[in-house]
Structure 1
Amino acid sequence: MATIKISFDKRADHTTKDKKFPLVLRIGHARKTRDIPFNLHLKENQYDFTTGKVTGILNAVRHTKRIRKIYSDVDLWMDEHASEIKYWEIKKLKSEIEEIFFKKSPARSILSHGAVYLNRLRLEERFSTASSYEDALKALIKFRKNLKGQDDTAPIKTLYRTEDKKLKVLEDLKELDMEIKAMDYAFLKDFKAYMSNRYKSRNTPAIHLRSLQAIMNDAGKTYSDLRDHKPLSSIKKQSHENAPEPLSLEDIMAIRNLELKPQTPIWHTRNYLLFMFNNMGMNHYDMATIKRYQFEDNRIKYYRKKTHYEGDYFSVLQNEEALRIIGFYLNGQEPKEYLFPIIPADTTPDRLYKVNNGKVKIFNKYAKRIADLADIEKKITTYTLRDTWTNIGLDMGIDIRKISSGLGHSSVQVTEKHYGKSVSEKILDEINAKITKVQSP
């Protein structure tokens, strides 16, 4: 049961030179205590714990009334909410009392709540999402540096340290942190302008703003005082339409026919490239993390990492080329070992996303060489295979609903958004051909 009492905080670092102590409301709950100061320093003989009377100072009667009222109100409130409070941590109880009875606005900083949100994502093993959200917070801190006239060009490796398996804001970044309520419309519009000037990709500002909005929305759901604070809701965060440069079937054949020395990095890259194409444009991360047990009965079975929490499960029957590629890498692995030698076996789950990003850069480097050798003028990256699979499917007249399902999109509208130009062109070409077709006499 939670308890309260009036007490002096006699810690040495809280005591004044003339031997005055802070008067505090001491909360006891779950075998822990916390103090809330009344912002009043008194000598021991200036407060009577029996009567609750303050004496010997200016406005003593007013202070006495205030302290008695707060004590009485908190005591009644705790009694009325006892059934709820017994499940709370003392930190929450203290925060509630401070906010309701001491009119103290709680600290709700963006980095602190960002840590809470990122911890939750990490527990859910949504490491790529956590990394993306931290990138948005890093961009915000660089903007804060810029506003303070500090160097904002140096990369920020991390914003947090890990303590007791939880993220804590780095000490040297606390001065750059800011209250969520202080992030108003004007500040965020300036932040968007800063990012638009800084990043080459036109989509980066929108991605970071959406990530920031997710953190702020979560804070609004967590803290009642932030429920109506939504400055990002009226700032446009639209993504620009993809401009994919997919390969043609002729390009794929040219890549297949290249004479490459076996067991070289470029040879492995071609194998991975063709494997992803043969598996509906599989994401590099999904391919890199396939375990041996996921290959069974000539099928690759996996949850798409980007949306696994939504239940995006795939079971893909492997064609002849994919089976031949898999055969190169079957070497008696244990069931839980990786099928492909891309990610080091000792990589911890929280580092998978970053390690894969490094492997993607290597893939893209050798993919460029493959394009040069095959006389392909288009840029080949890990995303190219997904666009290629989609485009070839649309060219073949496959129903967009089936294409959408293969891509793991939540709806056809998502597919149309990402591949809108390609879809529109093919539909218009088909309609135009039918309308303008010359009929035989």
Structure 2
Amino acid sequence: MRSKTNFRVSFFLKKTKLLKSGEASVSMRITVDGQRVENNIRKSILPNLWDQSKERAKGTSKTAVDLNRFIEEARIKIHQIITELQQNGEEITPAVVQQRFYGIGQVRKQERTILQVIQEHNEEAEKLIGKDFVKITVRRYESMKRYLCEMIKEKYDVPDLPLSDFTGEVIRAYEVYLKTEKDLCQNTLIRYMKALKKITNRCIANDWIHKDPFAGIKFREEPTDPEFLTIEEVNRIYECDPGSKRLEVVRDMFLMSAFTGLAFTDVSQLTEEHIVTDNEGNKWIRKPRQKTRQMSNIPLLDIPLEIIEKYRGDKKAAKKGVLLPIPSNQVMNRYLKEIATICKIDKYLTTHVARHTYATVCLSQGVSLKNVSKMLGHASVKMTERYARVLDSSILRDMNSIRDTMNLGKPKKQKVKEESDKEAI
């Protein structure tokens, strides 16, 4: 047995950085032979309810009772750990004691951590870009991991959490963090939560965790109003003179999407094999969407056919093995601002506005929701319904069809004209 080890366990508040609730995190300091480690015990309390001289919470509230019970049990457990280490002749350091206290290095030695699992997933996703993932989706997973890492460090004062500690409480704390610290809107927040849920589903499928941390947690997506252009605005872009070759290419690529409904990624990956001709000589785009793998079936109108022929044989496109010399999404969106200014369009143009425009105009002109869904490559009609907005033009068209019926007690124009024609005869 080793010689007697001097150790002390103390608890204190971190008052320099209060939580949003006004509470201060409680930290535990383990000192062994003059060396020490500190860590957040993942509990907090209002500063005026803490007695530092006694290292205890004041009062008899549930929070105070639970915290004091934890402190007492922690002191006893650490004393037992050090006694066991001494009896086994093992190394005794603050770090070793801390690891044993949290079960790291023993029962949970092989347990995975949440950030570790996310990193493994993201590395796989990076390799599958262009097959099962697109770049923007992989970037979302990376941002989700980065924000979660920041939240864990700030709230729990640890670099990572074992999967057994990744509970619904942590997820709700992450939601609050994204809303308050990152100022994310509800729908953007939901995208991060869906990405995180995919990770936890992976953990459940691999039997790394046995209880779904998302159980009982639901998120409500807020209705959106995607930006789109009118036919008149699209025509303005088509007829405008951009003034430079780079803007001309950006204009043409935007129009290609606006007249096919293809997302930016799908336009940039368009190849000759995606252009097919049916038995009647009509040309179609038949291409599985990169995002959903759903097949898009799109009749090619004159303008997209014109654009394809215009860039046939383009060296940049040929080098990439595609039909069109489309720049990166960032470049497209940057130059579309210039296009909007030149064409006097007071809307925030992005590559996705073109897709919204195609869907909205098709629906407003009477194309069925089912057919628009098929052309867009949506997995279900429900995804297409958000584009089914009511435009003034469609209202006027529908009301004109019942104009005569609604003109009660008034002579119908067509009938009056017919009677005047008879009199003339």
Q: In which range does the TM-score fall when normalised by the shorter chain?
A: 0.5 to 0.7
- 1:95-122 Cα offsets, whole Å, 9 max, x none, are xxxxxxx965741211222244345545
Moved more, 195-204 or 399-408: 195-204
Aligned to 2:351, the other structure's residue is in SS state coil
Task: State the match for 2:91 in structure 1.
Answer: none
1:333-412 alignment to 2 at 5 Å? 337-342=321-326, 359-412=328-381
Aligned to 1:305, the other structure's residue is in SS state coil
Q: CA deviation at 1:235?
A: 2.5
Within the alignment, does 1:254 sit opposite 2:236 as a pair? Answer: yes
1:78-89 alignment to 2 at 5 Å? none
Count of matched residue positions in the alignment of Structure 1 and Structure 2:
297
Structure ID, larger Rg: 2
Aligned to 1:233, the other structure's residue is in SS state coil
Moved more, 323-332 or 242-251: 323-332
Instruction: Give, in whole Å, the separation in 2 of the partners of 1:207 and 1:432.
Output: 42
- 1:146-176 Cα offsets, whole Å, 9 max, x none, are 3367xxxxxxxxxxxxxxxxxxxxxxxxx62
Task: State the match for 1:114 in structure 2.
Answer: 118
Moved more, 229-238 or 371-380: 229-238
Q: 2:178 aligns with which of 173, 188, 195?
A: 195
Q: CA deviation at 1:272?
A: 0.5
The answer to whether the Cα contact below 8 Å between 1:242 and 1:419 also exists between their aligned partners in 2 is no
Q: In 2 relative to 1, CA 104–126 (structure 1 residues): closer, same or farther, beyond 3 Å?
A: same
Task: State the match for 1:32 in structure 2.
Answer: none
Task: State the match for 1:8 in structure 2.
Answer: none
Moved more, 281-290 or 334-343: 334-343
Instruction: Give, in whole Å, the separation in 2 of the partners of 1:296 and 1:398.
Output: 22
- 1:206-251 Cα offsets, whole Å, 9 max, x none, are 111111011101101111x612x22223223222222122111111
Instruction: Give, in whole Å, the separation in 2 of the partners of 1:240 and 1:287.
Output: 29
Within the alignment, does 1:273 sit opposite 2:254 as a pair? Answer: yes
Moved more, 391-400 or 324-333: 324-333
Instruction: Give, in whole Å, the separation in 2 of the partners of 1:332 and 1:136.
Output: 39
Instruction: Give, in whole Å, the separation in 1 of the partners of 2:257 and 2:143.
Output: 27
Q: CA deviation at 1:315?
A: 4.4
Q: Supply the AA of the counterpart residue of 1:126.
A: D
- Percent sequence identity over aligned pairs: 23
Task: State the match for 2:132 in structure 1.
Answer: 126
- 1:10-69 Cα offsets, whole Å, 9 max, x none, are xxxxxxxxxxxxxxxxxxxxxxxxxxxxx9xxxxxxxxxxxxxxxxx989xxxxxxxxxx
The answer to whether the Cα contact below 8 Å between 1:241 and 1:420 also exists between their aligned partners in 2 is no
Q: 2:149 aligns with which of 130, 141, 145?
A: 141
Q: CA deviation at 1:140?
A: 0.6
Within the alignment, does 1:213 sit opposite 2:219 as a pair? Answer: no
Q: Supply the AA of the counterpart residue of 1:179.
A: P
Aligned to 1:316, the other structure's residue is in SS state strand
Q: CA deviation at 1:292?
A: 4.1
Q: 1:233 aligns with which of 194, 209, 215?
A: 215
Q: In 2 relative to 1, CA 266–201 (structure 1 residues): closer, same or farther, beyond 3 Å?
A: farther
Within the alignment, does 1:320 sit opposite 2:288 as a pair? Answer: no
Aligned to 2:214, the other structure's residue is in SS state helix
Within the alignment, does 1:283 sit opposite 2:267 as a pair? Answer: no
The answer to whether the Cα contact below 8 Å between 1:180 and 1:216 also exists between their aligned partners in 2 is no
Q: CA deviation at 1:260?
A: 2.6
- Give ranges in structure 1 of 5+ residues lacking alignment: 1-38, 40-56, 60-101, 150-174, 344-358
Aligned to 1:302, the other structure's residue is in SS state strand
Q: In 2 relative to 1, CA 202–58 (structure 1 residues): closer, same or farther, beyond 3 Å?
A: closer
The answer to whether the Cα contact below 8 Å between 2:262 and 2:355 also exists between their aligned partners in 1 is yes
Q: CA deviation at 1:314?
A: 2.8
Task: State the match for 1:179 in structure 2.
Answer: 162
Aligned to 2:140, the other structure's residue is in SS state helix
Q: Supply the AA of the counterpart residue of 2:205.
A: K
Q: CA deviation at 1:205?
A: 1.3
Q: CA deviation at 1:306?
A: 0.3
Q: CA deviation at 1:374?
A: 1.6
Q: CA deviation at 1:189?
A: 1.3
Within the alignment, does 1:305 sit opposite 2:290 as a pair? Answer: yes
Q: In 2 relative to 1, CA 203–422 (structure 1 residues): closer, same or farther, beyond 3 Å?
A: farther
Q: Supply the AA of the counterpart residue of 2:387.
A: Y
Within the alignment, does 1:419 sit opposite 2:387 as a pair? Answer: yes
Q: CA deviation at 1:332?
A: 6.8
Q: What TM-score do you get using the length of structure 1 for normalisation?
A: 0.59
Aligned to 2:285, the other structure's residue is in SS state strand
Q: CA deviation at 1:133?
A: 2.4
Q: Supply the AA of the counterpart residue of 2:370.
A: R
Within the alignment, does 1:245 sit opposite 2:227 as a pair? Answer: yes
Q: In 2 relative to 1, CA 275–237 (structure 1 residues): closer, same or farther, beyond 3 Å?
A: same
Q: CA deviation at 1:406?
A: 1.7
Aligned to 1:234, the other structure's residue is in SS state coil
Task: State the match for 1:439 in structure 2.
Answer: 408
- 1:65-98 Cα offsets, whole Å, 9 max, x none, are xxxxxxxxxxxxxxxxxxxxxxxxxxxxxxxxxx
Q: In 2 relative to 1, CA 404–315 (structure 1 residues): closer, same or farther, beyond 3 Å?
A: closer
Q: In 2 relative to 1, CA 431–320 (structure 1 residues): closer, same or farther, beyond 3 Å?
A: closer
The answer to whether the Cα contact below 8 Å between 2:285 and 2:297 also exists between their aligned partners in 1 is yes
The answer to whether the Cα contact below 8 Å between 1:291 and 1:335 also exists between their aligned partners in 2 is no
1:44-55 alignment to 2 at 5 Å? none
Aligned to 1:207, the other structure's residue is in SS state helix
The answer to whether the Cα contact below 8 Å between 1:360 and 1:382 also exists between their aligned partners in 2 is yes
Aligned to 1:241, the other structure's residue is in SS state coil
